[in-house]
Amino acid sequence: MITLEDFNKIDIRVGTIVDASINKGARSPSYKLKIDFGKFGVKNSSAQITDLYSPEDLIGKQVIAVTNFEPIRISQVKSEVRILGADTENGVVLLNLDKKVENGAKIY
C-alpha cells in the first residue's frame, strides 16, 4: 500500500503527441514519441503501443503521462515520460480524456 503522500509525489499530466515513429533499436516493438506538455515543454518517450496504434493514429492524440520519473535510455531514445495505458489481451489501450484540455494540465 502507498499513502496519499506517496501518490502526490507522482506528477501526471496531459500532453499531445506531435511526432511518432518506430523506435528501430528497441528490443520490443516500440514507438519513439515527442509529446507537447505546454509550458513544461516537449518531452520524448518510447512506448510499446504498436499493437493497436500506428504512428499516424498517434499524431495529435492527447495522452496522460507520468512526467517526473527518472529518464531512461531505450536504444537511441532518452525516454523522459511514461504514457499511461491499460494492458489488454490485444495490446495496450491508451488512457484518454473525454474532452480536450490544455497541454500540461495536471491529473489528480
pLDDT tens-digit map of 49-89:
999 999 999 999 999 999 999 999 998 899 999 999 999 99
pLDDT of residue 9: 96
Report the percentage of the chain scoring pLDDT > 70: 100
pLDDT tens-digit map of 2-12:
999 999 999 99
pLDDT of residue 47: 96
Residue 101 C-alpha cell reads as 484540455
In a domain, 67, yes or no: yes
In a domain, 22, yes or no: yes
Q: Tell me if the pTM is above 0.75.
A: yes
Q: How many domains does the chain have?
A: 1
pLDDT of residue 59: 98
Mean pLDDT of the chain: 96
Q: What is 37-64 written as a DSSP string?
A: -GGG-EEEEEE--TTT--HHHHTT-EEE
The CATH number of the domain where 87 resides is what?
Answer: 2.40.50.140
In a domain, 77, yes or no: yes
Give the structural domain span for 77: 11-94
